[in-house]
Structure 1
Amino acid sequence: MSTENRVEEARAGGLAVRVRGAAAEAAAEAVAALAADGVPAALASGDSTLWGPDAADLAAVRLGWLGLPRGSRELLPELSRLAAANRAAGLDRVVLAGMGGSSLAPEVIAATRGAELTVLDTTDPAQVRAATADRLHRTVLVVSSKSGGTVETDSHRRVFEKAFADAGIDPAERIVVVTDPGSPLAELAAERGYRTFLADPDVGGRYSALSAFGLVPTALAGVDAAALLDEAAALAESLSAGKDNPALLLGAALGAAGRDKAALAAPTPVGLGDWIEQLVAESTGKQGTGVLPVVVEGVNAPGFRDAPDTLPVSCSEAGPAPDGDALVQVTGPLGAQFLAWEYATAIAGRLLGIDPFDQPNVQESKDNTKALLERAGTGPLPAGEPLFTEGAVQVHASGAAPRAGDLAGLLRGLLDAVPERGYLAVMAYLDRLGDAPTAGLRPGLAAATGAQVTFGWGPRFLHSTGQYHKGGPAAGVFLQITADSAEDLEIPGRPYGLARLQLAQALGDFGALDSRERPAVRLHLTDRAAGLEQLRRAVGSLEGVSR
């Protein structure tokens, strides 16, 4: 059989993984080598030495996700009682305040299972204000943070506490906390009488889909958590096997195909691509290596292609998966997909020679944000003078960024600056709901260049691809979008509001990119609607960039 026509398949526990073409040959060789070394059984049993001596200590306290399909069942009776009590009290709206691993999996679970869940993973004042204004008397707030100190989540808690109190509602009757034992949030919750679910501390945030972080908000929103765990448990039995192990085949394809990007088309489960993006990018993007997930709009979208640097992957709950140019197809229920992708990411980490459980560069932008706020005090943030202003768009650039005299020329220069096998990252610090059309910039830019283009909402992406941007290959070019807010929103107990925090987060990350001499441009919209329309027209004017 020719390499082009080769196909490798593995099925177990309701999940099927199919790999074809050159990726199939590389994956098959990697599976054979991993099986010969006893890696599948070692990983399934929680062997923390699989990623080398430097990673062993951290891995020893980050492998608890393997036992979640069984262990998380302990949560179900209490969750069922609380959900029933909420329904009886007329509390039928659930808002989740969380970032990264605390928000992405719950959002996928709720959307896929048809449950209403309002997710706050933003510092945009308009989006947060809208959440507090919607059916507050019927709202339960889940405050979810592994560390217990996440600045965005702490801000959301403070805003909602005030909103509840102003409405004559006791926050202790409406706030549910999910955190690790001993965290500052756990201590605060005990002091204030908030209902608290303590998560397994041996599970990292991005591996926590089947833990309390994934189950508490979604079970309160009406999802059948037991069914989700059943789906994962059905797959778990295959994880120790060297063959008929679809999660192993998936990890081998990711880690051995020789491609540093994976284009993800995942119409179902709904939003799964965004969850995979964090898991894979934050786990593998370090030491100058990694696999960058590129979430696309479908198998026919720009960027979903078989290319030397890109592995096209399609996902679906029920087969056959959408095909297009997909070299990897993953088909199965959501619970199994969560566990399979976690296992596959750990396998890919071993093949790439990195620690899949640390995130050494995530803290940098957080520290930059804190320092900016402290240095500025109550004065203006150091946003710098724009290179030029065109209509409602102010243009700022890093030292390594291209220069131009107009917006369209600057965008052309930015696309030209993307190196071979590089990528352009669009990072929008805007309202994910009110400014949702901004996401349409990704396919437009991707159609104008042969390079891959990612899109992330800030500061949400800082807990996701932000690690890859700074720790992965030095091949990124960055387009950051910020905007004035019509009205700020006070954060009780803090000397700044959400709009100021949002801009500080953008400037902090921009500084981290500039310090690495990454080409980066910041477009600041003095009027959101007018500025976005200008930007859409400029993107539409771009011609293809030869590579």
Structure 2
Amino acid sequence: MAVEVTLGHAAEAAAAVKDKLVAEGVPAALAAGDSTLWGPEAQTEAAIRLGWLTLPTTSRELLPELTKLVERVRAEGLDHVVLAGMGGSSLAPEVICATEDVPLTVLDTTDPGQVLRALGERLENTVVVVASKSGGTVETDSHRRIYEKAFRDAGIDPADRIVVVTDPGSPLEKTAAEAGYQVFLADPNVGGRYSALSAFGLVPSALAGADVVKLLDDAAEVAPSLARNEGNPGLELGALLGAQALAGRDKLILRDALSDITGLPDWIEQLIAESTGKSGKGILPVVGADSAEAADQFSVDIGPEGDVHVDGPLGAQFLVWEYATAIAGRVLEIDPFNQPNVAESKENTAKILQGRPESAYPVVVDGPVEVYGDVGENCDNLADVLTWVLREIPENGYLAIMAYLDREAAFDAAILGGGDFEQTTEAWAAADVATLRNLLDYRTDHAVTFGWGPRFLHSTGQYHKGGPQVGVFLQITGVNSDDVEVPGRPYGLAELQLAQALGDLGALQSRGRPTVRLHLTDRRAGVAHLLSVAEEL
């Protein structure tokens, strides 16, 4: 089954862009891996970032070794699969496993509570996949160290339980070899956000029980169409994305429609935001919005319905969206393979960890919520602050909510089996800080995004700093009642989490954009109060 792209009312604008791309020979050139398509400044980077085009074939080399690993893990009764990875190392496996309804615990957080929850779940039956392209990702390195200690403390040899996925020659490969861990080396000519069909996507997904052969088969089936001028879903979709952005509709509302795929917009969010958000340009994906309300927005549905929709199996969708993103980069005249602003927040975090953040005083205290930042005059309470934040969004701007909290904490508010499904869902929503996105989205026509920190730093974080400077930023942090020591490091997860939040805050503030931090002195009470105030705006 191929991917079907239906453009609806947007077809006319996309057609002109598509005709230009065809006249320039772009479809066949991209399918052949032509690194010159994005200009001379991007050529060096593009030359080592186009390996994703052949992954439906080359990734099959991993299958014999991967099959043996899966058989061993099953034989040993290791049925709790934990993935320690950030960005491109975790988002694709999360979608794959959710779609196939196989259990996978994803650790893409530095929140102590979330990590402790994973550690407390059947450690004796746990296998951990440590995935990092660079091999130096601070979050993933911390998770590895924490699990190594946990296994040793339980009398378990970490070499029997830890599997590593990384690029050849990375520091992690060396560490893994010294520790005796099984290592899967990924194609170094594939960037992280394009790595869904590489070892980064396949290894954890196969261990969790997903059918990765079908994933590759579906991608291989659509691959030949990507060289064509007609009947090319990647070209159609890429022309659409580029045409809409050129026309000022640069907020892409991604919606899960009646599809067999679960959660694909979250993966697309990173792919497009990090690939296009630079040089003051970009396409901002918005996940969770019901509809496109403003002139700078347009919607794409994942599934068989919707005026503009993309339908097809997951493996094929991965490849088509990657191709389309590369096409959109060409249309917008940016390099879709670099991420020039990602390191800024990391460097700020490192500086904070080496010293200590300067003490700041809240400008407003409203119950369990402290407010930090330069808010407008006459902001005396939380309702005033939220109202001011919404009013600060400029024309064609957006609001980004960034929560450095435990993204699973809401599940503690209601246990399945304690009531009917509707009551349970309502209880979850009432305790989930992500509900704030919907509440504020209802009160503005502007795009409102939501990201869990530090997860979003590996996706929309690039867009926030490198894309159009029209964002307003609402950061949420909270007091940690627990902490987890990071063995071999002079800090714990609580300190790392706050340093990451403040590091990114500094990067955003240096751009002169409105930035407010809400600090919850009691997390559960703070979330409840925040949602209550937002609901009454």
Cα displacement string for residues 403-447 of structure 1 (whole angstroms, at most 9, x for unaligned residues):
611100010000000001110000000001014711111111000
Q: Which residue of 2 aligns with 1:427?
A: 402
* Aligned counterparts of 2:292 and 2:79: Cα–Cα separation in 1: 43
**Contact 1:144-1:178 within 8 A present in 2 as well:** yes
Q: Which residue of 2 aligns with 1:270?
A: 262
Q: Which residue of 2 aligns with 1:18?
A: 6
> Is structure 2 residue 334 aligned with structure 1 residue 354?
yes
Cα displacement string for residues 56-92 of structure 1 (whole angstroms, at most 9, x for unaligned residues):
0000000000000000001111111110111111111
> Is structure 2 residue 475 aligned with structure 1 residue 500?
no
**Secondary structure in 1 matching 2:49:** coil
**Contact 2:21-2:27 within 8 A present in 1 as well:** yes
* Aligned counterparts of 1:330 and 1:82: Cα–Cα separation in 2: 35
**Secondary structure in 2 matching 1:385:** coil
Q: Which residue of 1 aligns with 2:417?
A: none
> Is structure 2 residue 534 aligned with structure 1 residue 539?
yes
**Contact 1:17-1:249 within 8 A present in 2 as well:** yes
> Is structure 2 residue 239 aligned with structure 1 residue 252?
yes
**Secondary structure in 2 matching 1:237:** helix
> Is structure 2 residue 289 aligned with structure 1 residue 289?
no
Matched residue type, 1:415: L
**Contact 2:294-2:445 within 8 A present in 1 as well:** no
Match of 2:146 among 159, 169, 184: 159
Unaligned runs of 5+ in 1: 1-12, 543-547
Match of 2:366 among 372, 386, 390: 390
Cα displacement string for residues 470-504 of structure 1 (whole angstroms, at most 9, x for unaligned residues):
10001100110000011111111111100110000
* Aligned counterparts of 2:481 and 2:410: Cα–Cα separation in 1: 13
Q: Which residue of 2 aligns with 1:109?
A: 96
* Aligned counterparts of 2:233 and 2:157: Cα–Cα separation in 1: 49
* Aligned counterparts of 1:166 and 1:435: Cα–Cα separation in 2: 30
**Secondary structure in 2 matching 1:357:** coil
* Mean CA deviation greater in 229-238 or 434-443: 434-443
How much has 1:311 moved relative to structure 2?
A: 1.4
Q: Which residue of 1 aligns with 2:251?
A: 261
How much has 1:538 moved relative to structure 2?
A: 1.3
| Moved beyond 3 Å, runs of 4+ | 400-403
* Aligned counterparts of 2:60 and 2:161: Cα–Cα separation in 1: 24
Matched residue type, 2:363: L
Cα displacement string for residues 241-282 of structure 1 (whole angstroms, at most 9, x for unaligned residues):
011111110000001122111000025421111100000000
Matched residue type, 2:105: T
Identity of aligned residues (%): 63
* Aligned counterparts of 2:406 and 2:359: Cα–Cα separation in 1: 20
**Contact 2:294-2:446 within 8 A present in 1 as well:** no
Q: Which residue of 2 aligns with 1:449?
A: 444
> Is structure 2 residue 192 aligned with structure 1 residue 205?
yes
**Contact 1:397-1:521 within 8 A present in 2 as well:** yes
How much has 1:382 moved relative to structure 2?
A: 2.6
> Is structure 2 residue 519 aligned with structure 1 residue 527?
no
How much has 1:307 moved relative to structure 2?
A: 3.5
**Contact 1:387-1:396 within 8 A present in 2 as well:** yes
> Is structure 2 residue 201 aligned with structure 1 residue 214?
yes
**Contact 1:148-1:185 within 8 A present in 2 as well:** yes
Q: Which residue of 1 aligns with 2:390?
A: 415
* Aligned counterparts of 2:76 and 2:458: Cα–Cα separation in 1: 35
* Aligned counterparts of 1:406 and 1:524: Cα–Cα separation in 2: 14
* Aligned counterparts of 1:462 and 1:494: Cα–Cα separation in 2: 22
- Distance 1:79-1:498 versus aligned 2 partners, 3 A rule: same
**Contact 2:403-2:452 within 8 A present in 1 as well:** yes
* Aligned counterparts of 2:108 and 2:15: Cα–Cα separation in 1: 39
* Aligned counterparts of 2:499 and 2:376: Cα–Cα separation in 1: 21
Cα displacement string for residues 113-159 of structure 1 (whole angstroms, at most 9, x for unaligned residues):
11111000000000001101101111100000000000000000011
Aligned residue pairs total 512
In the TM superposition, 1:186-201 aligns within 5 A as 186-201=173-188
* Aligned counterparts of 2:124 and 2:355: Cα–Cα separation in 1: 39
**Contact 1:383-1:507 within 8 A present in 2 as well:** no
**Contact 1:401-1:520 within 8 A present in 2 as well:** no
RMSD of aligned alpha carbons: 1.1
**Contact 1:232-1:336 within 8 A present in 2 as well:** yes
> Is structure 2 residue 311 aligned with structure 1 residue 331?
yes
* Aligned counterparts of 2:21 and 2:119: Cα–Cα separation in 1: 50
Q: Which residue of 1 aligns with 2:465?
A: 470
- Distance 1:17-1:273 versus aligned 2 partners, 3 A rule: same
* Aligned counterparts of 1:95 and 1:263: Cα–Cα separation in 2: 31
Q: Which residue of 2 aligns with 1:240?
A: 227
* Aligned counterparts of 1:130 and 1:34: Cα–Cα separation in 2: 50
Q: Which residue of 1 aligns with 2:35?
A: 48
* Aligned counterparts of 2:358 and 2:458: Cα–Cα separation in 1: 24
Q: Which residue of 2 aligns with 1:373?
A: 353
* Aligned counterparts of 1:471 and 1:455: Cα–Cα separation in 2: 18
Q: Which residue of 1 aligns with 2:272?
A: 280
**Contact 2:339-2:462 within 8 A present in 1 as well:** yes
**Contact 2:255-2:302 within 8 A present in 1 as well:** yes
> Is structure 2 residue 480 aligned with structure 1 residue 485?
yes
* Aligned counterparts of 1:510 and 1:193: Cα–Cα separation in 2: 39
How much has 1:32 moved relative to structure 2?
A: 1.1
Match of 1:137 among 99, 114, 124: 124
Match of 2:322 among 318, 339, 342: 342
* Aligned counterparts of 1:515 and 1:530: Cα–Cα separation in 2: 32
**Contact 1:402-1:413 within 8 A present in 2 as well:** no
Q: Which residue of 1 aligns with 2:423?
A: none
Q: Which residue of 2 aligns with 1:8?
A: none
User: When the two structures are superposed, what TM-score results if normalisation uses the length of structure 1?
Assistant: 0.92
* Aligned counterparts of 1:402 and 1:264: Cα–Cα separation in 2: 36
**Contact 1:426-1:453 within 8 A present in 2 as well:** yes
**Contact 2:364-2:382 within 8 A present in 1 as well:** no
**Contact 1:345-1:356 within 8 A present in 2 as well:** yes
* Mean CA deviation greater in 475-484 or 307-316: 307-316
* Mean CA deviation greater in 231-240 or 532-541: 532-541
**Secondary structure in 2 matching 1:474:** coil
- Distance 1:513-1:454 versus aligned 2 partners, 3 A rule: same
- Distance 1:99-1:249 versus aligned 2 partners, 3 A rule: same
* Aligned counterparts of 1:199 and 1:29: Cα–Cα separation in 2: 38
User: When the two structures are superposed, what TM-score results if normalisation uses the length of structure 2?
Assistant: 0.94
